[in-house]
Structure 1
Amino acid sequence: MEQQEYATGAARTAGGRSDGRTGGAGRGTTDAVLVVRASAPRPVPGAAPTTGVDAPQGPGPAPAACPDRPESDAPTGSPSPSAEVLSPDPGLLRLARWFAEADPRTADDLCAASLGLYPARHFGAPTEPVAAGPAATEVSWWHGPTAHTPAPPRAREPRAAGGLRRARRDAAALPVVLSGAKPGQPGRHRKPERSRGPAVVPQDRSAAATAAERRIAARLLVAHPLVTASGPHADGFPLIRRHRDWLAERFDTLLGYRLVVGPWHARLHKAGLGPGAARRLEHPVTGAPFTPGGYAQLALALALLVDAPEQLPLDRLLAAMKAADPGTGPAARPGDCPDLVMALAVLADWQVLGDLPAELSADLPAEPSDPAAVLTVDRELARAVPVGPPALADDAADLIRRAAEAEPGTAVRRRLAETPVVLAADLPEDQRAWLRDHGRTGPAALADFLGLESELRAEGVALLDPAEELTDLALPGTDTAAQAALLLVERLVEEVRPLPGETTGPDVPVPDALIDGVLGDIADEYGLPAGWHRGYLADRTALRRDALDLLHRMGLITPAPRGTRPPGWLLRAPAARYAPAPDLVPAPGTGRHSRRDPDITIPAPAAPAAPRAGQPA
């Protein structure tokens, strides 16, 4: 390995903290590294040399060559970049093979561990408040306050595509925020941020503005770990650069994440979430999920782009991918390889590639690609994408495990920051003990950093975002699958919720027949009046699949353990927050299947009267 690196002029990029002790995505993870070839530094016109967190900490990949330099300025006798042989990065090439051999669920976990570009995911609607104190952690989600909305689903204004809405702010505390809104006007649909302390006095105006800017920048990075100066979130990039030192320190202290801020991009190196995290990469336009083959094409393309020329012919990239790994390489035409089309689309969405040819912008191009098409490559961004490469891992499972390793407090805070809910039953013993000892102070510090609210229950903790911005999935949502999922989970909770006093864990089994029956009733009752998609109404199997998938990704249901017969689903305790509040003292029913109150004595029926004379007995 060392001889190979010496022969190719490779440099090791530590995936972790700047002290070089750890790797993966930040402090507390293992020391996996990425092997990339060094190149000349990229000068920035009129800018001073970058220092501190502006440059990668520790040994790392050098920035790409300056794109403004014309080809004619190259030294005499040097080969043209277009004539250079594309050589794949060995670590990313190995990753591509692991992707190709993985099953879909393992491929999703491997993507989160090796790229770390997943967004945060949180519940939005808060439940009714619970009295503060130790009693708050004794209330169960099954029987506690709910966030149920009794109104039937109805169409709402769709959320802006691509991430966070404009930051909500207190006009008195924040006179100026670079968000694109008109100066001095918060917007008629913007609610001011609820104050968490005493009213801001004029002398604290600057301090409040600074705190709000830092929170906006932190939320943007958690939602979008790769932010560029010319991308869709460019208005927040100046805030990240302005507070980069403070953000780098807080991310490292609370989450063990490494933040790298350069002149043109900011990269938050997130850690993996471990196996079964239900995080997957999707096509940026169609939303189609990546397959193991799509992940393999993405890693293989990155393996070549980290050292590719800035102007790269498409046919040359395809030939290099085929030569680098014939087992996962694409076909001669991108139209014959949908996985390659998805990989190039997401690379263009990350701005690693410039504008794609028209036939590559569609989901499944029908026309053959132009062999003379030229791709614009940003090598600096290509090198910023991988965070947990497999240089020291034995296989895919080992990489997933290594990327999620951290000290107990850091590991729990990562789960709180990235996932909708953290249940104590899902944690190993050391992390469960930390959550039990720091159940109030630990989540509170993270909630204040990201502008979230803590919801503590007997089963675990959830950090809520009432603004419904810091999440990639919305529940309640506006589309058919989201509306059906919300109604489904509401009725399932009413059917299988344990009674008070029953000894049960955070999960309750749900029969498949109950899911089918409830979903059928919901579709018949709400489908046409609510304007649901006719394709779902005609294909109930697809409606069931997508509704259950959304509930699973939000942590409200989970598949039954492997080997369970028959296989099915388990309803999780946080699902009860979307159901009506339980009637803990129901009125005694009169039906033959209803429960009777033991304190109510039902008199025995009176004996029939004796028949009168002349009447039949």
Structure 2
Amino acid sequence: MTAVFSSLEGWQSLEDEQEAVASLARRLRVRTWLVGGRDDELIEAVHRYLPAVRAVLASVGCTLVVEPDLVRVYTPAAPVGRLPGGASPEGVWFWLTVSVLESLPAKARLGQVVSAVRGAAAEVQIEVTQSRTELRALVGGLQMLCERGVVTELDGRVEELMDGEQDPPVLLRIHHARLAHLLPRNVPLDDDGQWAVAPGRAPQRWLQSLKRPDNVAVRVCGMLTDQAVVHVCDLDEEERQWFSAHLAREGARVAETFGLHLEHRLEGACLVMPEESCDDHALGPFRFPLRQRGGTGTVRHAALLLIDHLTVEGEQGGAISAVVRRLSELGAQYPKWREEYRQRPEHLAEEIAALLQGADLLRVVAGFEDWWWLSPAAARWTVVPEEAQLAAPSCGAGMEAS
């Protein structure tokens, strides 16, 4: 058995088809691209359980496309209000790269691809600086294409572009047939078959035009599988009514099909993986708390202590000045924390905000003085003693984050 397949913790030994389908559905909800040559055994499993897996994913608004060497899961559009603002540099260079790949041969040098991408950037009046920041964004976009199997590294790695060479010895294979799978589905078209709204000219209108599931149950359950926690305050009136009347029964049934448990209260809900079926590879990329590689985990330890402080105080939030003051006090209590954070608690506060906002456990309200509001879900964690290493939590004590 290969290393990839054995990571599913004895998949082939599972006698219960429902459990096998749940494991595969969890995996596909996080990894929405499976490509031949890299994920052959997972693709084979999808074919084996295809009708059941397709039904489970459809219950949360996902569309499953299966080809001999590709499995693609299209996820429902997220509510516009919950999307991050601003343009992602990696995303900009990702789409610039996509725009030129169709005109390039199946095998192309990295320098050939980069030259075409920079030309496309100049055409849409994006300044090309060739700075380290720009190179990191360009490499990030290329890596996203490699993760999706649209581009394959035949010789060398795209990261070699960071070494400063204009044409590093890297050979890429472009899978032109997979380019179409990058585009979202259900985008409104005009009479000529083109997108009715151009995302480059009106990005907000384009996002608003993306069709969300008509069925309110599918919308809410889709958010549960997509987010670490769903807050009632983010739902529209129809979704709030369904949450109140039907979540306990129907939401629990959907959670069961994924092999998860539903936890809910008045403020919101989340899906939790039971400890007995813990599969680290089927969880999302967000881990909290988690000991940081090569360090003592200052940011995560401080985040836990801050959560505990605000929860005990009963405020569930506080002004940024109070947050920084508390972090300064904690820095004096914990001499093993990284020195730069102990000396600059305001910088530590920025890092904690970025960490907690990654799972929507924190919202920062801008004003004369920024105000921090913790999600009620943040109270699920307790303070880790100073001497303890911040290992990954047991699955029963952490939320899905995709």
Normalised TM-score (structure 2) = 0.78
Q: Which residue of 375, 390, 397 corresponds with 1:572? A: 375
Equivalent-residue separation in structure 2 for 1:216 and 1:387 (angstroms): 25
Question: Please, which of 288, 298, 301 is the counterpart of residue 483 of structure 1?
Answer: 301
C-alpha separation in 2, matches of 1:318 and 1:215 = 41
Q: Is 2:362 the counterpart of 1:554?
A: no
TM-superposed deviation, 1:518: 2.1
Matches of 2:212 and 2:73, distance apart in 1: 17
Q: 1:386–1:318: structure 2 CA closer, same or farther, 3 Å change rule?
A: same
Matched, 1:301 2:97: yes
What is the one-letter code of the residue matched to 1:577?
R
How far off is 1:454 after superposition? 1.0
Match runs of 1:209-608 below 5 Å: 210-231=17-38, 233-252=39-58, 254-277=59-82, 292-306=88-102, 308-326=104-122, 327-328=125-126, 330=128, 337-355=135-153, 360-361=158-159, 365-370=162-167, 373-388=170-185, 391-393=195-197, 395-403=202-210, 405-407=212-214, 408-466=216-274, 467=278, 469=280, 470-479=283-292, 480=297, 481-497=299-315, 508-528=316-336, 532-537=337-342, 539-560=344-365, 564-579=367-382
Tell me the C-alpha RMSD between the 2 structures. 3.2
Task: Report the 3-state secondary structure (helix = DSSP H, G, I; strand = E; otherwise coil) of the residue aligned with 1:463.
Answer: strand
One-letter amino acid matched to 2:90: G
Whether contact under 8 Å (1:314, 1:372) holds in the other structure is yes
For 1:545 and 1:437, the matched residues in 2 are separated by 39
CA 1:487–1:347: 2 relative to 1, 3 Å: same
The answer on whether the counterparts of 2:255 and 2:261 sit within 8 Å (CA) in structure 1 is yes
Shift of 1:279: 6.4
Q: Secondary structure at the match of 2:213?
A: coil
On the 8 A contact 1:348/1:356 being kept in 2, the answer is: no
- Structure 2 counterpart of 1:268, one-letter code: V
The residue number in structure 1 matching 2:7 is 166
CA contact (8 A) 1:323 1:329 kept: no
Distance 1:571 1:333 in 2: 37
Give 1:485's aligned amino acid.
A
One-letter identity of the residue aligned with 1:392 = A
Q: Take 2:350 and 2:5, find their aligned partners in 1: how far apart are those partners?
A: 28
User: How far did residue 331 of structure 1 move?
Assistant: 5.9
What do residues 392-434 of structure 1 show as CA deviations (whole Å, max 9, x unaligned)? 2352112222336222222111111111222222211011111
How do 1:95-114 and structure 2 match up within 5 A? none
Higher share in helix:
2
Q: Which amino acid aligns with 1:434?
A: W
CA distance in 2, matches of 1:462, 1:577: 11
Greater mean deviation of Cα atoms: 371-380 or 266-275: 371-380
Report what 1:70 is aligned to.
none
Aligned to 1:606: none
The percentage of aligned residue pairs carrying the same residue is 20
What letter is aligned with 1:471? G
Alpha-carbon distance in 2 for matches of 1:482, 1:234: 37
How many equivalent residue pairs? 358
Higher relative contact order (CA 8 A, sep 6+): 1
CA distance in 1, matches of 2:134, 2:309: 45
Does the Cα contact within 8 Å between 1:321 and 1:330 map onto a contact in 2? Answer: no
Q: CA deviation at 1:536?
A: 4.0
- The one-letter code sitting in structure 2 at the alignment partner of 1:224 is R
- Please name the residue that 2:391 is paired with: none
Structure 2: stretches of 5+ with no match in the other structure: 189-194, 384-402
Contact 1:313/1:372 (8 A) holds in 2: yes
SS at match of 1:439: helix
Alpha carbons of 1:454 and 1:358: their partners in 2 closer, same or farther (altered >3 Å)? same
Distance in structure 1 (CA, Å) of the matches to 2:229 and 2:5: 20
Q: Name the aligned partner's letter for residue 314 of structure 1.
A: L
Asked whether the 8 Å contact 2:153–2:171 carries over to 1, the reply is: no
Distance (Å, rounded) in 1 between the aligned partners of 2:171 and 2:156? 12
Post-superposition CA distance 1:343-396 (Å, at most 9, x none): 12222233322227757415x723313267542112233332222568223521
Which structure has the greater CA radius of gyration?
A: 1
Q: 1:226 to 1:484 in 2, by over 3 A?
A: same
User: Partner of 2:71: helix, strand, or coil?
Assistant: strand
Q: In the alignment, is the contact (CA less than 8 A) between 1:297 and 1:328 conserved in 2?
A: no
**What is the alpha-carbon distance in structure 2 between the residues aligned to residue 313 and residue 431 of structure 1?**
50
Q: Give a deviation string over 1:291-311, Cα, whole Å, max 9, x none.
A: 633321110111222453211
C-alpha separation in 2, matches of 1:555 and 1:404: 23
Contact 2:60/2:219 (<8 A) preserved: yes
* Matched letter for residue 265 of structure 1: L
Change (3 A) 1:487 1:468: farther
Contact 1:272 1:404 survives alignment (8 Å): yes
Q: SS of 1:477's equivalent?
A: coil
Q: What secondary structure does 1:438 align onto?
A: helix
Judge conservation of contact 1:558–1:569 (CA < 8 Å) in 2: yes
Provide closer, same or farther for how the CA distance between residues 464 and 258 of structure 1 changes in structure 2, counting only shifts above 3 A. Answer: same
Deviations 1:134-190, CA, capped at 9 Å, x for gaps: xxxxxxxxxxxxxxxxxxxxxxxxxxxxx9993356xxxx7626xxxxxxxxxxxxx
2:105, 2:174 within 8 Å by CA — same for their partners in 1? yes
Note closer, same or farther for the CA distance 1:468–1:522 as it changes in structure 2 (3 Å cut): farther
Output one character per residue of 1:57-99: Cα deviation in whole Å (capped at 9) or x when no partner.
xxxxxxxxxxxxxxxxxxxxxxxxxxxxxxxxxxxxxxxxxxx
Q: Relative to structure 1, is the Cα distance of residues 358 and 536 closer, same or farther in structure 2, using a 3 angstrom cutoff?
A: farther
Taking a change above 3 Å as real, the CA distance of residues 457 and 366 of structure 1, as seen in their structure-2 partners, is same
Contact 2:18 2:257 in 1 (8 A): no
- Asked if the contact 1:334/1:369 (under 8 Å) is kept, the reply is no
- Checking the alignment, whether the CA contact within 8 Å between 2:90 and 2:138 is kept in structure 1 is yes
CA distance in 2, matches of 1:329, 1:380: 30
